[in-house]
Amino acid sequence: MHVTGHGSPGPPRRTPRTPRKAASIREVAEAAHVSHQTVSRVVNGHPNVRQETRSRVEAAIAEFGFCRNASAYALASGVTRAVTVLTSNSVPHAYAATLQGPEEAARAAGYSVGVRVLTPEDDPSRTVATATATATGGGIVVIGFDRLGAAALARVPADVPCTSAVEAPPPRRPAVWADDRAAARAATRHLLGLGHRTVPYVAIPAPTGSRASMAPRAEGRRQALASAGVTPPPAIGEGWDAPAGHEAGRELARDPGVTVILCGNDDLALGVLRALHHAGRAVPGDVSDIGFDDAPHSGFVAPAPTTVLMDFRGLGRAAFQLLRTQVESDYRPPELTLFAPELVPRESSERRTA
Amino acid sequence: MHVTGHGSPGPPRRTPRTPRKAASIREVAEAAHVSHQTVSRVVNGHPNVRQETRSRVEAAIAEFGFCRNASAYALASGVTRAVTVLTSNSVPHAYAATLQGPEEAARAAGYSVGVRVLTPEDDPSRTVATATATATGGGIVVIGFDRLGAAALARVPADVPCTSAVEAPPPRRPAVWADDRAAARAATRHLLGLGHRTVPYVAIPAPTGSRASMAPRAEGRRQALASAGVTPPPAIGEGWDAPAGHEAGRELARDPGVTVILCGNDDLALGVLRALHHAGRAVPGDVSDIGFDDAPHSGFVAPAPTTVLMDFRGLGRAAFQLLRTQVESDYRPPELTLFAPELVPRESSERRTA
DNA sequence: CTGAAAGCGCTTACAG
DNA sequence: CTGAAAGCGCTTACAG
């Protein structure tokens, strides 16, 4: 894929981008024959303005296309009404959907929302410092589903309003989380109940710096197997996407003893499905495959994977609401809002007849 | 799915969020025994500062955890280095990937990026006005893939730096676009070359207010059919997601004459695939199915849909670069950067043997 | 109901 | 190399 052309060739025009500076409150005031404070009052919907004056000002505002300078407003008033979302990614469904929560909720509440994607290269402390600076008077939501997010979260100063959507019972800040461990327990029990002897697991990367096996989903599986008296086989692979699942799936497909595979998310499950298909192993006939997250396309692939439904959007929205409480009332809500994931049985898992 | 609990019950604590106001340049100056301008010089990497002075200031900055107030900086300097992305959605792959472009590029260039999702409810003029206000000194990127985006784009004042990623040869602003029409022509010719008599089309919503049939993808198909002497059947359905594709697919599956289906995107194709499957029609044996966009999961479903690859991320990145040129140099690039989509043949389309 | 004054935290000339 | 002055566009008391 290449950039193939230019619409209009020829010498570059130096159109001096109409340096028509945005009109200020003062110009509007002059045009309306009032002081600039009165304009401020009208702009802010202050009641104490005579109707006739208000009309004159409104006319002038319309004429100039006046739009209050956001920086000046923020500086003078001290209120920013801005939230910055820190996330290591914005494209995979879990992230995009979680991001959608604060975006919607913030918009509805009149906050502006910024996004800063965290990369392994940048220094989390610096990134957080920048976000903090931008958020003066506002706050930060961090999507702490992975190492990068967790690292950023850990570096947010205690006095900066911040909430997070995390995978595990969170650090000492207001946060929202889904009980992944319980969900993984339920999924594993579901599979054991279907007659499977054990449940191999294809892992997503762990949120903290710890071993993958300590991640909530991995841990939930471990618990369920243990209490059924089964020694949990170690997790396979580590990744987020279908190619990673495909790789792990190829490995697992070689083992004829494998009758079911639990995956850390739906994209992994998709890759595993594909690998099983290539290896000539029928799903769910020979092998059952089950994922997490209920990505939007999940219900439409064949066989549709059994999955664990997660309300990421709700999670994100709740994170913003928690943040807003802090920003607007100086009240630090101690709650950890917990979301309960839900098992959605579909075609890819079935009762073991053997 | 419900909010099921609170982490720590009990009476709400009113932790007075450490009103430790962020340190200002003046406090730092005092601590370092210099004037606040000198601190400003150090912060901005100005060369004319004695090394010893610089060290003192840096120590004070570290001690206070000083972080320049973004609003004050923007107000005083007039530079914002901020870009607001206007988009009607942020979750579907085409949007999320396009959004990723400006996010990455802006981050690399030291810009902050804001996202504003457009909804059918809000007044595009007001939304744009708000974005404009925030973008004072910065600029706007609009993802104009649909009606909402196009409407917003049309309302951005001429003197506000703005670029867009659009589907069709764009309005009178710098913009980037992919030649969807040519891509659809190529896809259609590909299918005709495979021996299909005609090519039904499941449409995505048209970007402008015009009829769906005038959208670039629809138009490309029409052209290819016309030049092959085939009267194009009208487009079916209109939507973005798998459920919409499923609905259209059920309709098409009833018609035994249908041997191929071209879909406006991969999610539609997925839905169509599912419907064909349910109707007992084999893909690609009975019917070929082909989509657009190469969504990340596309290669992993079975049968993998033939698709048209689009570099959305590159598109978004280019849009930002175009914007940056305007913001930083007052130069209005006249170019329309064109991306060429690429046909990726996969399992879901094959030569017609009948 | 309306205006004159001071200040938000920074930068940009201008002096020294 | 460093500091005193003025100002960015707005708001928030304080007068009238």
* Strand C contact with B21 (CB < 7 A): yes
Distance to chain A for B220, nearest Cα, Å: 18
pLDDT of residue A47: 83
Q: B180-310 has which CATH code? A: 3.40.50.2300
pLDDT tens per residue, range A6-21 = 333 333 333 334 445 6
From residue B163, give the alpha-carbon distance in Å to each of A4, A263, B124, B152, B328.
Answer: 18, 41, 17, 12, 14
CB contact, 8 Å: B69 with chain A?
Answer: yes
* Strand D contact with B52 (CB < 7 A): yes
Q: Encoding tokens for residue A335?
A: 């709650």
CB-based contacts of B62: which residues, under 8 Å, 6+ apart? none
Nearest nucleotide to A47 by CA–C1' distance? C1
Nearest nucleotide to B78 by CA–C1' distance? D8
pLDDT of residue B170: 67
Q: Do A115 and B113 touch (CB under 8 A)?
A: yes
Beta strands in chain A (DSSP E): 82-87, 112-117, 139-144, 162-166, 175-178, 201-202, 260-263, 288-290, 307-309, 336-339, 342-344
* Strand D contact with A53 (CB < 7 A): no
CATH pick for A180-309 out of 2.40.128.20, 3.40.50.970, 3.40.50.2300, 3.40.50.300: 3.40.50.2300
pLDDT tens per residue, range A37-78 = 999 999 888 888 888 888 888 888 888 888 888 888 888 888
Q: Do A112 and B114 touch (CB under 8 A)?
A: yes
Give yes or no on whether B79-178+312-341 and B180-310 have one common fold: yes
pLDDT of residue A293: 81
Check whether domain A81-178+312-341 has CATH 3.40.50.2300, yes or no: yes
Mutation site for B-interface testing, chosen from A71, A265, A294, A326 by largest number of B Cβ within 10 Å: A71
pLDDT of residue B157: 81
The span from the CA of A83 to the CA of A106, in Å, is 8
CB-based contacts of B210: which residues, under 8 Å, 6+ apart? none
pLDDT of residue B10: 35
Mutation site for B-interface testing, chosen from A13, A28, A80, A115 by largest number of B Cβ within 10 Å: A115
CATH class of domain segment(s) B79-178+312-341: alpha beta
Chain B residues 161-220 with CB within 8 Å of chain A:
161, 169, 179
* Strand D contact with B40 (CB < 7 A): no
pLDDT > 80? residue A135: no
The span from the CA of A262 to the CA of A29, in Å, is 66
pLDDT of residue B184: 92
pLDDT of residue B16: 40
Q: What is the pLDDT along chain B (354 residues), one digit of tens a residue?
A: 444 344 333 333 334 444 456 788 888 898 889 989 999 999 888 888 888 888 888 888 888 888 888 888 888 888 788 899 999 999 888 899 999 999 999 999 888 899 999 999 988 888 887 777 666 667 899 998 888 998 899 888 887 888 999 887 767 788 998 888 899 999 999 999 988 999 999 998 876 654 545 788 899 999 999 999 999 988 888 888 889 999 999 999 999 989 999 999 888 998 998 899 889 898 888 888 888 887 777 888 878 888 898 899 999 999 999 998 888 776 777 667 788 888 888 888 877 665
The domains of chain A are located at 25-68, 81-178+312-341, 180-309
* Strand D contact with A26 (CB < 7 A): yes
Percentage, residues of chain A above pLDDT 70: 88
Burial group, residue B14, by CB count within 10 angstroms (0-12, 13-18, 19+): exposed
* Tokens 């692979």, located at residue: A237
Select from A178, A173, A139, A208 the least CA-distant residue to A312: A178
Select from B332, B316, B334, B338 the least CA-distant residue to B160: B332
Q: Which fold has domain B25-68?
A: 434 Repressor (Amino-terminal Domain) (1.10.260)
pLDDT tens per residue, range A85-128 = 999 999 888 899 999 999 999 999 888 899 999 999 988 888 88
Select from A309, A6, A3 the least CA-distant residue to A186: A309
CB neighbours of residue B254 within 10 Å: 11
CB neighbours of residue B50 within 10 Å: 9
Instruction: Report the predicted TM-score, pTM, of the whole model to 2 decimal places.
Output: 0.85
